Amino acid sequence: MYDGKIIFIVLDGLGDRITPQLGNKTPLQSAKTPNLDKMASIGITGIVDVISPGIAPGSDSAHLSLFGYDPFEEYPGRGVFEASGFGLDLDDDEIAFRTNFGTVEEDGNTLILKDRRAGRISGPEAKGLIDSIKEIVIDGIKFKTLHTLEHRGILIMKGDGLSAEISDIDPHATNVPVLKSMPLEKATDFKAAKRTAELLNKYVLAVYRKLKDHPINKKRVKEGKLPGNIILPRGASKKFTLESFKHRWGFNPACVAVGPLYKGVARILGFKLYDPPGGTGLPNTNIKSKFETGLKALEAHDFVFIHLKGTDTASHKKEPITKRDFIERFDREFTIILDAIEKGATVLVTGDHSTPAVLGRHSGDPVPVVIAGPNIRPDKVNKFDEISCASGGLHRIRGKDLMPILLSYTDRNLEYGLHPTNKSQRYIPHTWKGLRIE
């Protein structure tokens, strides 16, 4: 029934480190996961360097890698994926950034960043703040800011002669100064990059002046909360065209995700987006609904990507027990995925990166992977965790190797060299034509 079809499940930030609170096990190791362990026992396991060994992947480049794109060659920057997640396609004269609301304090004439998420400011408050800075024009360049979820947003700069080759305002750390954007040393158009960076710096200061005494912030301070008094742009990127997933791998893909970034990556690659009812992008999400939405999508599609964010969110909050509990809840719902394997589906479960809960941010530790399906040569591993999978039959592979491996497991690959357009071993393109008798 599901022959040749693939379910590709990513538990965001799944990989972890040994955790004293959990008896020196990782959250995944300490979780009771009879269903994932069953999948390991019938499948093949391994560990994955999603980008390359030791590299801590960003969520966007991680997913590109997992989908078989080269993160060193085909990564345009984060802004474009965030925008895509909200259905925005960039114009040629636009630069997109991911933004956070942050909290700064003045120290002389420096702005010290106290919190990168403005105390996880609520959506309605963030939206209220954005109303006052929605459209700002500086030296003829338009700055348009959009709210997405909670403290997150998108900034679009629009105007002639802009460059995305500039550094971030967001220092990605706290108790350090907010950074001045600079042209990248190796910018192809250094002058344009210098001008763009200067304009962005002006914009950030203008925003700070507008927000610092904003009534919403005054109210938050009165309530003992951190004000959202700055915008922290990062990941400048221009319009960028990536080969579609269908063209590259021959699948007709669907995406079941809630987070805008994941939807954004999938949308740019041509996945059809499905919204799972009850999905929150948090540990309280409706996991069953995600699986059911995915299985429904598998009727019309032959590749379904299901994304779960709860593992990562718990890790960023440094809550290993919340992470473990989320994994156990995932495992309980996983029976319907095991059923799909019985019905012929090839299923992969992995993470997009490690987010050790003891650390609270992404690390370069590899992530475990398990693949099960009708054509798998099983290994001797029968437990799904970081340590067990390190002895698996897949050994240590790269994120971008997964798609060729899945093509082989679903018998869709051509022999290398069989067709000159097909040196990199793809499916038979549906654009090929039959020879006609004239």
Q: Which stretch binds its own copies (CB under 8 A): 83-91, 200-208, 240-248, 279-287?
A: 200-208
Tokens of 192: 């344009």
Q: Which amino acid is at 57?
A: P
Tokens of 390: 């390190």
Q: Which of residues 344-383 bind its own copies (CB under 8 A)?
A: 356, 359, 361-365, 375, 377-380
DSSP state of 302: S
Chain residues 118-157 in contact with its own copies, contact rule CB under 8 A: none
- Alpha helices (H) along 250-309: 260-268, 287-300
Interface of this chain with its own copies, residues 73 to 102, rule: CB under 8 A: 75, 77-78
Q: How far is the CB of 236 from its own copies (least distance, A)?
A: 7
Q: Does 206 bind its own copies (CB under 8 A)?
A: no
Which element (helix H / strand E) includes 39?
Answer: helix 34-42
Cα of 235 vs its chain's centroid, Å: 13
DSSP β-ladder status, 6-11 and 346-350: parallel
Beta-bridged to residue 350, according to DSSP, are: 10, 369
Kindly state the smallest distance separating residue 332's Cβ from its own copies, in Å: 26
State which of residues 10, 26, 130, 334 lies at the interface with its own copies (CB under 8 A). 26
Using CB under 8 A as the binding rule, whether residue 413 contacts its own copies is answered as yes
| Near its own copies in 379-408, by CB under 8 A | 379-380, 386-387, 390-391, 393-398, 401-408
Q: Are 228 and 122 in contact (CB under 8 A)?
A: no
For residues 289 and 279, is the Cβ–Cβ distance under 8 A? yes
Which residue, 22, 57, 17, is CA-closest to 358? 17
How far apart are CB 350 and its own copies at their closest, in Å?
Answer: 14
Our CB check for its own copies shows the closer of 256 and 403 to be 403
The answer to whether 416 contacts its own copies (rule: CB under 8 A) is: yes
CB neighbours of 131 closer than 8 A, spacing ≥ 6?
none
- The least distance separating its own copies from the CB of residue 196, rounded to whole angstroms, comes to 12
Indicate which single residue of 9, 22, 31, 55 sits in contact with its own copies (rule: CB under 8 A): 55
Which is closer to its own copies, CB of 290 or CB of 426? 426
**Size, binding site for its own copies by CB under 8 A:** 101
Q: Which amino acid is at 340?
A: A
Taking alpha carbons only, the member of 97, 259, 107, 113 closest to residue 172 is 113
Shortest Å distance, C-beta 178 to its own copies: 5
Nearer to its own copies, 288 or 387 (CB): 387
**Which stretch, 5-13, 146-154, 232-240, 324-332, contacts its own copies (CB under 8 A)?**
232-240
In the complex, the smallest distance separating the C-beta of residue 362 from its own copies, rounded to whole angstroms, is 5
d(CA 308, CA 326): 10
The CB-of-427 to its own copies minimum distance in angstroms stands at: 11
Contacts of 53 (CB under 8 A, 6+ apart): 364, 366, 396
51 near its own copies, rule: CB under 8 A: yes
What are the backbone angles phi and psi of residue 23, rounded to the nearest 5°? 65, 35
Near its own copies in 270-289, by CB under 8 A: none
Cα dist. 348→89, 157, 214, 391, 408 in Å?
A: 30, 39, 48, 17, 13
Taking CB under 8 A as the criterion, the residue among 169, 192, 231, 295 binding its own copies is 169
By CB under 8 A, is residue 109 in contact with its own copies?
A: yes
Q: Determine if 20 is a binding residue for its own copies (CB under 8 A).
A: no
Q: Is 42 among the residues that bind its own copies (CB under 8 A)? A: no
DSSP assignment of 385-413 equals SHHHHTTSTTEEEEGGGHHHHHHHHTT-P
- Specify the residue for token string 């409706």: 286
The CA-atom distances, in angstroms, between 207 and each of 75, 146, 236 are 29, 14, 18
SS3 5: coil
* Nearer to its own copies (CB atom), residue 298 or residue 403: 403
111 binds its own copies (CB under 8 A): yes
Asked if 433 interacts with its own copies (CB under 8 A), we say yes
Q: Does 302 bind its own copies (CB under 8 A)?
A: no
| Comparison of 122 and 201: residue with beta carbon closer to its own copies | 201
Beta carbon nearer to its own copies, 164 or 337: 164
DSSP 76-125: --HHHHHHHHTT----TTEEEEEEEEEEEEEETTEEEEEETTTTT--HHH
Report, in Å, the least distance between residue 264 CB and its own copies: 14
